[in-house]
Amino acid sequence: MSIEITFKALSDPVRRDIIHYLKEGRMSAGDIASKFDVAFATISYHLTILKKSSLIRETKVKNFVYYELNLSVFEDLLLWFSDFTGGESDE
């Protein structure tokens, strides 16, 4: 996981909304897209970025593509932050 790619992925409101929806469980690309007022292809673009960041992963079933959160990356991020709040100032 690259923190660069991950933070870039999280820096867009549409992408944060997507991961919020995925908190409730896996969804198909189409179902995700239908929640937004932007073009289908735009959501596909955002899903690709989220996938590259490993924040989500895909599963193909029939001709659907389902997406779900990859929680282990969120835990890595928690760790990144706790480095600041934790108190150890040792490199």
Judged by CB under 7 A, the residue of 44, 52, 54, 77 near DNA is 44
For residues 15 and 9, the answer to whether their CB atoms sit within 8 Å is yes
Instruction: Give the containing element (helix H, strand E) for 67.
Output: strand 64-69
* Minimum separation from the CB atom of position 62 to a copy of itself (A): 26
Q: Binding string, 55-74, against DNA, x = CB under 7 A?
A: ---x-x-xxxxx--------
Q: Using alpha carbons, select from 14, 70, 23 the residue that is nearest to residue 42.
A: 14
The rounded distance, in Å, linking the Cα atoms of 3 and 7 is: 6
The residues of the shown chain that bind a copy of itself, judged by CB under 8 A, are: 3-4, 7-8, 10-11, 13, 16, 19, 23-25, 69, 71, 74-75, 77-78, 81-86, 89
* Minimum separation from the CB atom of position 64 to DNA (A): 4
Residue 44: how many other CB atoms lie within 10 Å: 14
* Minimum separation from the CB atom of position 68 to a copy of itself (A): 12
